[in-house]
Amino acid sequence: MDYNFIVIEGNIGAGKTSLSHKIAEECNAKLILEQFAENPFLPKFYKDPEKYSFPLEMSFLADRYNQLKKELSERDLFKSFTISDYYFMKSLIFSKQTLQDDEYSLYRQFFHIIYNSLPKPDLYVYLHSDVDRLLGNIKTRGREYEQEISEDYLEKIQESYFEFFKQQRDLKFLVIDTNNIDFVNNEEDYQKLLDTIFKTKCEKGLNRVIL
């Protein structure tokens, strides 16, 4: 195993949590899942983004930092590696779309103060899906507070991810186009995705694969 810490990321509805679960189970990995469902500001934000964007993003920042700091500092000797369905930089990507310029400027200061204190992933996997497919996945899983998410919002989040990847040179980013596979319900597609993650030779910076 070349990796001790792998992040599986993606836009809302990309299947990152489902994939993280499957890999953790099959590979005996320690699993870290984002605890977003417990955030009291999330349903309020989807109904009134302008009012609740700053408290939402600040609460996510604190929650993500506390969870990752705790989980990544506690090594499980009985697990082969650690896999997470999010990473701390997600806070900066989402907040850019939800905060006003002055709020975002303040938020960035808090972010960078604590970002460098966290361990960095050995591989950052991004599951890319078209927005139409994301919307279909969101509708299928039926979380009530997510049904208000717009196509425009998903497109902006997607653009922010790719803009961020292009600016980073110190991490290995593996962007996998999953539009043509169903790794959740099709075992052959899942194995194909698994092989891509663990067998692709990635350089630092942006690496792309289409499945």
Q: Per residue in 100-145, pLDDT tens?
A: 999 999 999 999 999 888 999 999 999 999 999 999 999 988 888 7
Other C-beta atoms closer than 10 Å to the C-beta of 168 total 14
Q: 80 near 27, Cβ under 8 Å?
A: yes
In angstroms, the CA 30 to CA 77 distance is 10
Q: The pTM is what? A: 0.91
Give how many domains the chain has, as a whole number.
1
Q: Is the dihedral of CA 72, 77, 83, 85 positive or negative?
A: negative
Distance CA 206, CA 18 (A): 23
Tell me, yes or no, whether 197 lies in a domain. Answer: no
Domain coverage including residue 117: 5-169
Which CATH number covers residue 10? Answer: 3.40.50.300
In a domain, 205, yes or no: no
* Chain centre distance of CA 46: 19
Q: Is 85 a catalytic residue?
A: yes
* Confidence (pLDDT) at 77: 86
pLDDT of residue 1: 65
149 lies in some domain: yes
Instruction: Please compute Rg for the chain using Cα positions.
Output: 17
Non-local (6+) Cβ contacts of 62 within 8 A are none
176 belongs to a structural domain: no
The pLDDT score that the predictor gives to residue 37 is 64
Which tokens go with 9? 């990321």
Residue 21, domain member (yes or no): yes
Which stretches of the chain score pLDDT less than 50?
none
Q: What per-residue confidence (pLDDT) applies to 43?
A: 83
CA atoms within 13 A on the CB side of 83: 23
Annotated active-site residue in 85, 101, 132, 152: 85
User: What would the DSSP string read from start to end of 88-142?
Assistant: TTHHHHHHHHHS-HHHHHHHHHHHHHHHTTSPPPSEEEEEE--HHHHHHHHHHHT
